[in-house]
């Protein structure tokens, strides 16, 4: 059986991780929290320039990312390579 991919969750929407866990407790989840992202009731406040280095790394390493489309757009506007995995040097 193939190893399940980890789902990275970076969102201001409360309850996403719990809903996924309830649906499949064996699903590997990585919940990323950062003060640069907040919001409530449909309002998103995101300041990508304030992201902690460990958050930036977690987002770069994400294979499956759950987030608001506006957050992804702002993240890419801030740094076009922010969701790109670094190329492995095989030399």
Is the per-residue pLDDT at 70 higher than 70? yes
Please provide the average confidence, as pLDDT, over all residues in the chain: 90
**Confidence grade of residue 78 (pLDDT, cut at 50, 70, 90):** very high
89 token code pair: 């040097």
Q: What is the pTM of this model?
A: 0.85
**Residue 60 within any structural domain of the chain:** yes
Query: What would the pLDDT profile of 33-55 be if each residue is shown by its tens digit?
Result: 999 999 887 789 999 999 999 99
Q: Per mean pLDDT, which range of 24-28, 35-39, 49-53, 81-85 is the poorest?
A: 81-85
**Residue 84 within any structural domain of the chain:** no
- Name the domain count of the chain: 1
Residues in the chain: 91
**Confidence grade of residue 86 (pLDDT, cut at 50, 70, 90):** low
Interatomic CA distance for residues 9 and 65, integer angstroms = 6
- The whole domain housing 73 covers 7-78
Please give the C-alpha separations between residue 80 and each of 28, 60, 62, 75, in angstroms, as whole numbers: 27, 11, 15, 8
């Amino acid at each position: 059986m193939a190893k399940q991919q980890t789902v990275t969750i970076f969102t201001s929407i409360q309850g996403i991780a719990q809903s996924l866990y309830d649906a499949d407790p064996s699903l590997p989840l990585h919940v990323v929290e950062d003060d640069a992202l907040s919001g409530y009731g449909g309002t998103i406040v995101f300041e990508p320039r304030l992201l902690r280095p460990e958050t930036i790394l977690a987002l770069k390493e994400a294979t499956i990312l759950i987030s608001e489309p506006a957050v992804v757009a702002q993240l890419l506007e801030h740094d076009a390579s922010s969701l790109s995995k670094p190329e492995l040097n095989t030399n």
